[in-house]
Amino acid sequence: PGSPRDGEAFAEVSLAHAEQADADRFGVHPALLDAVLHAIGFSGAAADEPVLPFAWEGVDLYAVSTTSVRVRVRPVGSGSVSIDVADASGQPVLSVGTLLLRPLSAATVRAEPVPRAADALFRVEWQKTAAEPAEDAQGWSVLGDGHPELARALGAVPVDGLAGVGDAAVLLVPSGGEDATPEATHREVHRVLGVLQTWLADERFAKARLVVVTRGAVSCGHGEEPRDLAGAAVSGLVRSAQAEHPDRIVLVDLPADDGDRASL
């Protein structure tokens, strides 16, 4: 930086050689702009205490991919400066009509850091709840014929597709399976997505409830891993749909080796 003249400051700054290859990616490389702003500290605007850039006005960019510049910082009012940036030949690169500055007090620098949520450590804790008395499953249907034991346990009516649901109050959609290949997971997610979209778009089901049932797709304890890859992917899909339709969709994950009526 050059010596201040009437509060002005002059500087020549260049990108480090390692950064010059990235200069074409920016109008003004962030490292170069940061170095330009450091010249403010040598101007009359920062004579009494450190300052930080706060509000920009009248910013014009004339050239890009510059790696070496000359800078003039000039106070233009109380707590404000203008900045002129040119290349080595004197051609303009950047000008800032007014940059409003804010003082940075020593007390602010020494202050204890404010705790951030990003620094916190969270974990999921599952809470056991008592099972409520089982209710009659009258008006319930099960989509598909691949889970006859579920339909028998609940006394529900199996249906081939949504067209056969009729006036069912609850439709169970069993999901997941033993095939853990990516292809099987994609097929199952697309199948359940189609059911969700059709269900939500059909006014016949406006007062009914869709229950997506998986087995062993959710980890509920320390060291426990989901055993159903396709069901785990479906669970994520259904949770997104629940956020938009919280009263119409229920997600139930049964134990992988047990799935009694009381769980539903």
**Tens digit of pLDDT for each residue in 90-143?**
999 999 999 999 887 766 666 666 666 667 777 777 787 776 766 665 667 777
Whole-number pLDDT of residue 212 = 85
Residue whose token pair is 């003082």: 103
| Range picked from 62-76, 140-154, 199-213, 249-263 for highest mean pLDDT | 62-76
- What are the φ/ψ torsions at residue 134 (nearest 5 degrees)? -65, 140
Question: What angle do helix axes 229-244 and 182-201 make, rounded to 10 degrees?
Answer: 30
| 84 and 199 both lie in a single domain | no
How many domains are there within the chain? 2
Taking residues 185-212, report their average pLDDT: 85
| Mean pLDDT score of the chain | 80
| 33 and 78 both lie in a single domain | yes
| 90 and 153 both lie in a single domain | no
Residue whose token pair is 């209710």: 135
Q: What is the domain range of residue 93?
A: 9-107
**Residue 12's pLDDT band (boundaries 50, 70, 90)?**
very high
What pLDDT digit, counting tens, does each position of 23-40 carry?
A: 888 989 999 999 999 999
pTM listed for this prediction: 0.48
Whole-number pLDDT of residue 211 = 83
Whether residue 97 is contained in a domain is answered as: yes
pLDDT at 73 over 60: yes
Whole-number pLDDT of residue 156 = 66
Whole-number pLDDT of residue 181 = 85
| 255 and 195 both lie in a single domain | yes
Whole-number pLDDT of residue 59 = 95
Of the candidates 107, 129, 148, which is a domain's last residue? 107
Provide the 3-class DSSP secondary structure of residue 73. strand
CATH number of the domain where residue 101 is located: 3.10.129.120
> What is the percent of the chain with per-residue pLDDT over 90, rounded to a whole number?
23
Whole-number pLDDT of residue 161 = 65
Whole-number pLDDT of residue 50 = 81
Top pLDDT among 212 and 164 is at 212
Whole-number pLDDT of residue 148 = 65
- Could you count the other beta carbons within 10 Å of the beta carbon of residue 15? 18
Whole-number pLDDT of residue 44 = 80
| 92 and 147 both lie in a single domain | no
| 149 and 241 both lie in a single domain | yes
Whether residue 117 is contained in a domain is answered as: no
Whether residue 114 is contained in a domain is answered as: no
Whole-number pLDDT of residue 61 = 94
CATH number of the domain where residue 163 is located: 3.40.50.11460
Sign of CA dihedral 142, 145, 151, 157: positive
Whole-number pLDDT of residue 207 = 81
Whole-number pLDDT of residue 92 = 95
Side chain identity at 230, as an amino acid letter?
Answer: A
Give the pairing of strands 170-174 and 140-143: parallel
Helix (H) or strand (E) holding 230: helix 229-244
Whether residue 118 is contained in a domain is answered as: no
Mean pLDDT is lowest, of 91-95, 144-148, 212-216, for 144-148
CA distances to 188, 231, 247 from 244, rounded to whole Å, are 21, 20, 9
